[in-house]
Structure 1
Amino acid sequence: MSNSSQSLALAPANLAVAISNPGALGTIEAYISAVNRLPMLSAEQEADLGRRLRDQDDLDAARQLVMSHLRLVVSVSRQYLGYGLAHADLIQEGNIGLMKAVRRFDPSRGVRLVSFAVHWIRAEIHEYVVRNWRLVKVATTKAQRKLFFNLRRMRPDGQTLAPGQVDDIARELKVRPEDVSEMEVRLSGGDCALESPQGDEDAFTPISWLSAEGQEPTQVLARRDRDALQGVGLEQAIESLDPRSQRIVRARWLRDEGGATLHELAEEYGISAERVRQIEAAAFKKLRAALAEQHEALAA
């Protein structure tokens, strides 16, 4: 076994764990320092390990190929630090891409693993960035992802693009100007906190109106029906009564300046106060029945 292979075979066991969790060594700096101390493989060593993995499914060969290229993932991941995502997370996703590349590596094609793996590493990091940069995805198709990463790089200081700049970028990237403008709008948007920061009770945030019970659809419909019954619906129900019943209901309950008493209406119609009360009770019963029919009609 060569010196490089011996060094890889003797690498700390916890570094192997750190491939899937760069924070396992304590700090990201400790992880980077550890992977940078691992030796690189020569072309002959790499080809031999690749053949062992391909022909014998040798997992130790796969481990050595992965370990010797961890520094490549660290290098590629640094290019994506401007997206506000944790470096350890970027490295972790890149390591997944590296392992996928090692599994597909074929030394008989005469291509070094580093040239092959870099595309897989970037693909995994790209997917992670697009998936986690915003709550709402800004790019879903392959073309949109390509435009997303290129446009972030080409926008001067993140400023709004002038029409001429949009056309120049569209020509360079071989896309439509409308696609550039749409992606610029997506990049310019930001996430909005649903709730106010802790301790800031005066701040007005979306949760303030999202939780308003009065705007819940069933509440809105109930208010609409109630308003309809109390307005036009009530008037129609009253008009279905006989004239004397209408007069008693209106005089008792619908006058602005105080309702008439039972004795006043009894004197007006030449009947007893008890008889006025009975007519009023019968009128209310008919009104409730008429309003119930209207409510059923509205619900239907």
Structure 2
Amino acid sequence: MTTMSALVPTKNNALNLGFTGNLGNIDAYISAVNRLPMLTHDEEISLATRLREKNDLAAAQELVLSHLRLVVSIARGYLGYGLPHADLIQEGNIGLMKAVKRFDPDQGVRLVSYAMHWVKAEMHEYILKNWRLVKVATTKAQRKLFFNLRSHKTGLDAMTPKQIDALAKLLDVKREEVIEMETRLSGRDIALESPTDDEDDKFSPIAYLSSEQSEPTKVLEAEQVTRLQSEGLETALGKLDPRSRRIVEARWLANDDGSGATLHALAEEFGVSAERIRQIEVAALKKMKGALAAYV
């Protein structure tokens, strides 16, 4: 672990707050970052825009420094794994810097919300690689269960049947899976490399610990798509007159397989030509596109 002073610059003129001397220990570092001023929304957008358009590293530094307290706060929640607090903070700071580099100020999301995914992802990877017992969690579901099980256990004693049932219900998993994971957490070390020559066991468990779907950008994209498909679509349809909405729904939303009503069928329904239906459809989709722009 590097010294805590290595995580911050010697002096930060932009924020008018200097870090002088060697911070020396974790308490001094936490005290220092908690004195850093927080940015307003407008300041955050301005800095992020400068970074994106001009690759302004001074702007990136301000964004990182103003969110160091977020990393400290998140790291505090992972102290139960027996790993150094300073190391957790350092890994979280790496996630914060990745978030700042990829942050898009035009998405309408505050950096603190976006960065949280990246900070947690880096801390999770650090824990998974360094805490001996986590080596038994080899799938995404097991990783989720592992972290939740650790946070819900109140001590070293085994969980009661009532606690097991409550946790299984909370995580929507079988109680047998909770029991199995708790047994693994109470067991001895397990080798990363398989001792057998079985073809299925030739990959170490660490190979299964990462998941593309848990990558922060993927998570945000999935949330955006869900919002677009539910709230956004309903809002866009609400902008249409009844006839236009009927045509769009019949043509595009009637069946999951995309086999909507034909232009001629709708022309017969409304007593107009198929060409007129096509024109109404084009105008309606154009209007919906404008309404959906706020959700993209």
Band of TM-score, shorter chain: 0.5 to 0.7
Q: Which of 151, 167, 170 is the aligned partner of 1:169? A: 167
| Cα offset, 1:166, TM superposition | 2.6
Equivalent residue letter for 2:15: L
Matched residues in 2 for 1:53 and 1:79: separation?
Answer: 31
Check if 1:145 corresponds to 2:143. yes
1:55 corresponds in structure 2 to 53
> Residue 164 of structure 2 contacts residue 175 of structure 2 at CA under 8 Å; is this kept in 1?
yes
- In structure 2, relative to structure 1, the CA distance for the partners of 1:118 and 1:170 (3 Å cut) is same
| Cα offset, 1:164, TM superposition | 4.4
Matched residues in 2 for 1:135 and 1:151: separation?
Answer: 13
| Cα offset, 1:56, TM superposition | 1.8
1:8 corresponds in structure 2 to 15
| Cα offset, 1:47, TM superposition | 0.4
1:79 corresponds in structure 2 to 77
Q: Which of 89, 95, 98 is the aligned partner of 1:97? A: 95
Q: Flag the structure with larger Rg.
A: 1
- Percent identity, please: 64
**Over aligned residue pairs, what C-alpha RMSD do you find?**
2.3
2:123 corresponds in structure 1 to 125
The number of residue pairs the alignment matches comes to 179
Superposition map of 1:207-218 within 5 A = none
Matched residues in 1 for 2:16 and 2:50: separation?
Answer: 15
> Residue 133 of structure 2 contacts residue 185 of structure 2 at CA under 8 Å; is this kept in 1?
no
Which ranges of structure 1 fall in alignment gaps of 5 or more residues?
A: 15-23, 193-300
TM-score between the two structures when normalised by the length of structure 1? 0.55
> Residue 170 of structure 1 contacts residue 180 of structure 1 at CA under 8 Å; is this kept in 2?
yes
Q: Which has the higher contact order (CA 8 A, sep 6+)?
A: 2
SS of residue paired to 1:25: coil
2:30 corresponds in structure 1 to 32
Superposition map of 1:1-300 within 5 A = 6-8=13-15, 11-12=18-19, 25-134=23-132, 137-191=135-189
| Cα offset, 1:59, TM superposition | 1.7
Which ranges of structure 2 fall in alignment gaps of 5 or more residues?
A: 1-11, 191-296
Matched residues in 1 for 2:156 and 2:76: separation?
Answer: 19
Matched residues in 2 for 1:134 and 1:164: separation?
Answer: 28
| Cα offset, 1:72, TM superposition | 0.9
Question: Of Structure 1 and Structure 2, which has the larger fraction of its residues in helix?
Answer: 1
> Residue 9 of structure 1 contacts residue 64 of structure 1 at CA under 8 Å; is this kept in 2?
no
